[in-house]
Homo-oligomer: A and B are copies of this chain.
Amino acid sequence: MRVLGVDPGLTRCGVGVIDADSPRSPHLVDVGVVRTSPHMDQGHRLLAIEEGLNAWVQTNRPDVIAVERVFAQHNVMTVTGTAQAAGIAMLVAARHAIPVALHTPTEVKAAITGSGRADKAQVAAMVVRILKLDQAPKPADAADAVALALCQLWRGGSVNRYAAAVQEHAARRGRR
């Protein structure tokens, strides 16, 4: 099972790839960020993110892509760009016929540290321990992407069922 985690963002889109024969033995394949300049217009930034994520997918051929679920309530000033970057990740996944799973930041923190209220340093420290790394991936967006991938490895099944239920509910509302 190979998982690509994506922590969406316009300026820094974190990406992390893990491999696991079993959920108990994950190891880090690669980690990094797709960066775009705030001097570029929005469309070209999204295009650069698409090209960057596409390259990660083609190189790493993940079985599933885990993307942070973006809520409109958080960070009103930046949520549009973050939602759009997340949309690009889903677009790239769909184009490669790779399933997507969405996880909230709270779900990721809870899966990695046991507490949904853990801070970034705690999450990074657990990522180091779980994957037996020498140091935490930098910047924080990269570490968060790896945490998302680990969350998917461990919680994927149940979260996907939940997402399917939400989608089915929305579909039923759409039919009314």
Seen from chain A, the residues whose Cβ lies within 8 Å of a Cβ on chain B are: 11, 38-39, 41-44, 46-47, 50, 70-73, 76, 79-80, 83-88, 90-91, 93-95, 100, 167, 170-171, 174-175
**Cα distance A101–B42 in the bound complex, in angstroms:** 11
A24 to chain B, nearest CB (A): 29
Nearest Cβ in chain B — how far from A152, in angstroms?
15
A86 to chain B, nearest CB (A): 7
12 more A-B residue pairs beyond the given contacts A41-B94, A46-B91, A85-B87, with a C-beta to C-beta distance below 8 A: A39-B171, A41-B90, A41-B100, A42-B87, A43-B100, A46-B87, A47-B95, A72-B76, A73-B76, A79-B80, A83-B83, A84-B87
Cα A29 to Cα B85 in complex, Å, equals: 32
Q: Are B80 and A46 in contact (CB under 8 A)?
A: no
Asked if B100 and A42 make an inter-chain contact with CB atoms under 8 angstroms apart, the answer reads yes
Query: Do A167 and B88 have beta carbons less than 8 Å apart?
Result: no
- Chain B residues near A71 (CB-CB < 8 A): 80
Contact call B93/A174, Cβ cutoff below 8 A:
no
How long is the Cα–Cα vector from A9 to B29 in the complex, in angstroms? Answer: 37
Q: Which residues of B contact A42 (CB under 8 A)?
A: 87, 90, 100
Cα distance, A120 to B50, chains bound together (Å): 35
Specify which chain B residues have a CB less than 8 angstroms from the CB of A90 in the assembled complex: 41-43, 46, 84
Residues of B within 8 A of A72 (CB): 72, 76, 79-80
With CB as the reference atom, state the residue of chain B lying closest to A11: B174
Q: Which residues of B contact A83 (CB under 8 A)?
A: 79-80, 83-84, 87
Q: Are A91 and B167 in contact (CB under 8 A)?
A: no
Interface pairs A-B: 9 shortest CB-CB: A84-B87, A43-B94, A43-B90, A38-B174, A83-B83, A47-B94, A38-B171, A46-B91, A72-B79
